[in-house]
Amino acid sequence: MKTVNKIYINGKFVTPHGTEIFNLINPSNNQKIGEVTLADETDTKNAVAAAKEAFKTFSKSTVSERIKYLTRLKVAVEKRKQDFTDIMIEEYGGTHQFVTMSNQYSGAWFDSMIGVIQTYEFEKTINSSLVKMQPVGVVGIITPWNASNSSVISKVATAIAAGCTVVIKPSEMSALQTQVLMEAFHDAGLPKGIINFVTGLGNVVGTELTVNPAVSKISFTGSTAVGKLIAKTAADTMKRVTLELGGKSPNIILDDANLEEVIPTAVFGAYMNSGQACIAPTRLLVSENQIDKVNEIAKATAEKVIVGLPQNDDTNVGPMVSVKQFERVQNYIKIGLAEGATVLAGGEGKPEGLEAGNFVKPTIFTHVNNKMRIAHEEIFGPVLSIIPYKTEEEAIEIANDTPYGLAAYVSSPDVERAQKVASQIDAGRVCINGFRHDPMVPFGGFKQSGIGREYGVYGLEAYLEPKAVLQ
């Protein structure tokens, strides 16, 4: 049994004022593995006060000081790589494959921000005036359970690069991962108050961060529903917001693509992070003339997908994070059946031998109409919808017929053709021929997938406030 009973304020691990206990459950077997003491509004206020005090000095730090801190954070986080891996498997049910890949980038988040501020012009002259990019202030960082470490690390790296101080509220379901992060950040030895952690519930700690007038900005990653709530509440104190929200990403397979290559990639892609990924390509758009061939390959691929214990090297799909998430996915599978979609693979219930955990059968629906709820709503589990299109124009229309606009994918050997299609898709990130990651290019959503961008210069500027001095 593990106990998380400290939060991190002003450079010290302190006992929270909050006393509520939240049980931590291993999603592979639903056994209790630990407890976290949830912090409350008082704790949040204390953390904000520490961050506000630290901001007075830190906001005046030089770029080279910040680079020194970012380097120390990088070293400290990289030292704990194995701990992150172990705990993400145990607490979150992240597969060994996913967790290893995700942890590979931990240090890179700091490197990319070091790279950005080495050349970024924090001061510019425009005509005879000075334009200064000032750190925005205290930032409230609120993150989800499905990518806890990478969300926290990438946001902290950007905030530090900008000269902002932070109060971090990770998901209550990520308390063990948070403990490792708190220790790593503490070991980096930054001046007190720059980084603070408050574990707790969204409607307690998250709400206090959102209303507290000393917080200048909220950087949130999570669901669209909570993102809307934060945007509304934050408006009262005119906080800046960066909202990284949900997705229902289209994956357009153009009719000249090599189906034997792209369909298996598409199926495994939809199941990335066990389907609990905001950027997962969950709508597979294929030419109606090729749908039989696509179905055949997709079904054969689904049979190769290994659902199992997340610690096994060969597991592709692990358990859903919680019973609630398991039930959500089951409910959507029922909805898909009721809507008349054809089940090509998977379906309701748990895979044989995995009844103790929150495992679902990786599912593929085909002959899906984009108006169906399974094609429109974010399921956040390993459920893929294959949607036929008649023409390239219709493929683009279907791709854009969604409230979301986070990511999109296009496959074709004719790169120019793929680029032309990509240019017509309303999404913050369009990948051509495969899945790509680049921490220097902007990440974020169109439409209800969010507001603002993270990563690289675009991400940095979201933590800065331009000030013009006219002379």
Bridge-based pairing state of the strands 7-9 and 12-14 = antiparallel
Cα–Cα nearest to 376, from 204, 248, 271, 273? 248
Does 171 sit near ligand NAD (CB under 6 A)?
yes
Q: Which is nearer to ligand NAD, 26 or 102 (CB)?
A: 102
- Among 26, 154, 210, 295, interactor with ligand NAD by CB under 6 A: 210
> Which residues, numbered 282-341, are part of the site for ligand NAD (CB under 6 A)?
none
Of 40, 90, 91, 244, which lies in the binding site for ligand NAD, with binding defined by CB under 6 A?
A: 244
Q: Is 274 in the site for ligand NAD (CB under 6 A)?
A: no
Q: Are 25 and 322 in contact (CB under 8 A)?
A: yes
Catalytic residue among 90, 164, 278, 461: 278
Give which of 177, 83, 69 is closest to 117, Cα–Cα.
69
- 221 touches ligand NAD by CB under 6 A: yes
Among the listed residues 59, 134, 223, 369, the single contact to ligand NAD using CB under 6 A:
223
Query: Residue 10 carries which side chain, given as an amino acid letter?
Result: N
How many residues form the binding site for ligand NAD (CB under 6 A)?
31
Nearest of 24, 25, 5, 46 to residue 357 by alpha carbon? 25
Determine if 48 is a binding residue for ligand NAD (CB under 6 A). no
Region 103-142 residues binding ligand NAD, contact defined as CB under 6 A: 142
* Stretch near ligand NAD under the rule CB under 6 A, chosen from 100-108, 156-164, 190-198, 205-213: 205-213
- Sketch the per residue contact string, 445 through 464, with ligand NAD: x for CB under 6 A, - otherwise: x----x--------------
The question of whether 465 is a catalytic residue gets the answer no
- CA atoms of 55 and 73, how far apart (whole Å): 18
Residue 164 bears catalytic tag: no
Residues 336-365 that bind ligand NAD (CB under 6 A): none
* 406 part of the interface to ligand NAD, by CB under 6 A: yes
- Listed ranges 39-47, 68-76, 200-208, 299-307: which one lies at the site for ligand NAD (CB under 6 A): 200-208
Distances (CA, A) of 203 to 23, 174, 200, 260, 300: 17, 16, 9, 47, 44
Long-range contacts of 312-317 (CB under 8 A, 24+ apart): 312/96, 313/96, 313/97, 315/95, 315/96, 315/97, 316/95, 316/97, 316/268, 316/271, 316/362, 317/95, 317/271, 317/274, 317/275, 317/359, 317/362, 317/382
CA distance 443 to 439: 8
* Catalytic, out of 91, 244, 454, 461: 244
Residues 55-74 interacting with ligand NAD (rule: CB under 6 A)? none
Instruction: Give the H or E element holding residue 184.
Output: helix 175-187
Residues of this chain that interact with ligand NAD (CB under 6 A) are 142-147, 169, 171-172, 201-203, 206-207, 210, 221-223, 226, 229-230, 244-247, 278, 378, 380, 406, 445, 450
Q: What are the catalytic residues?
A: 244, 278
